[in-house]
A and B are shown apart, each in its own frame.
Chain A
Amino acid sequence: MNIAIIAAAIAVFTGIGAGIGIGFATGKASEAIARQPEASGKINSALLLGCALAEGTAIFGFITALLIIFVG
């Protein structure tokens, strides 16, 4: 069980990637809106899609950690 908890903690490290990715995407989106405010609708929907896909990795890591703790 002790080693399993460490394994779960490592699995949750996927959150780093999602955090960096969403941070980059949001920063670039802010720049794009500052440059072209009239395109903000399209930029927002593209940002939402990218964030949802980037967040998927974090969710997969989280589910893996849960499986390790509660099932394995």
Chain B
Amino acid sequence: MLEAFKESLVSELGNKTAFTIPVLGGIPVADSVVVSWIIMALLTVLSLVLTRKLSVRSPGRVQAALEWAVQFLNGFVKTNIGSRWRPFAPWLGTVALYIGLSNLIGIFGLTPPTKDISVTTALAVMSMLLIYGAQFRYNGLLGGLKKFAEPMPLLLPINLMEVVIRPLALCMRLFGNILGAYIIMEMLKFVAPAVLPAVFSIYFDLFDGLIQTVVFVFLTTLFTGEGIKEEE
């Protein structure tokens, strides 16, 4: 029985192929991609439906809630990045919505896409491009290079190492947390299939998923702000 459980756990760790596109000798499409499409469709439909009847004179309840959310996001980005916050807010909000929804979708019985290390790697690489792209975009080529020698030239090797370590840590943190929560939940279901998983699911699925979303977005914002903040 224990062996069977181990087998099922190992098979869960791999990324299952949902279907294969029959061109060029077959392109496998992973489960995480399909679930990502579902999330994208959900977000698109929601944003179309929720923003239909916007008005300046008489904002409805939905519009008030949306405005609060956007204002919260803008304020958060502004305090962490500084005066050049405008282009970053929409991207960070989108990433937060996507990661949050993918972490929570496990509750509805779908495989969370963030359990796939390829997804978190892609997110981390995009964060890295954002951080260092912004650093060079706003400081110029020379100014951007000079940022690597701050606060003092002695730290140059460490700053260069961070170019690799930051995305690696971002990727592994998200992946490890979601995978760890998933494995513990599977073990709990194996040991006590009744009430216990429901209680722990609140912590491992809801709380941990939301915390990891906040941490990912917060760290990306902080690193970006560090690269482009102007000295007073």
Contacts and interface: CB of A to CB of B under 8 A. Distances in A.
Contacts of B175: 63
A70 B215 contact: no
A45 B177 contact: no
Contact of A62 (B10, B169, B176, B222): B176
A63 B173 CA distance: 10
B172 A63 contact: yes
A39 interface: no
A45 B218 contact: yes
A11 B218 CA distance: 28
A62 B219 CA distance: 21
A32 interface: no
Contact of A49 (B169, B177, B179, B222): B222
A59 B172 CA distance: 7
Most central of B13, B176, B222 by chain A CB within 10 Å: B176
A51 B77 CA distance: 20
A59 B219 contact: no
A59 B222 CA distance: 21
A62 B180 contact: yes
Contacts of B179: 66
Contacts of A60: 172, 176
B67 to A, nearest CB: 21
A4 interface: no
What class of interface size applies to chain A in its complex with B?
10 to 19
A45 B77 CA distance: 13
A49 B218 contact: yes
Interface in A53-72: 53, 55-56, 59-60, 62-63, 66, 70
A46 B3 CA distance: 45
Nearest to A52: B215
A7 interface: no
B176 A59 contact: yes
A62 B80 CA distance: 31
Contacts of B176: 59-60, 62-63
Nearest to A51: B215
A16 B179 CA distance: 20
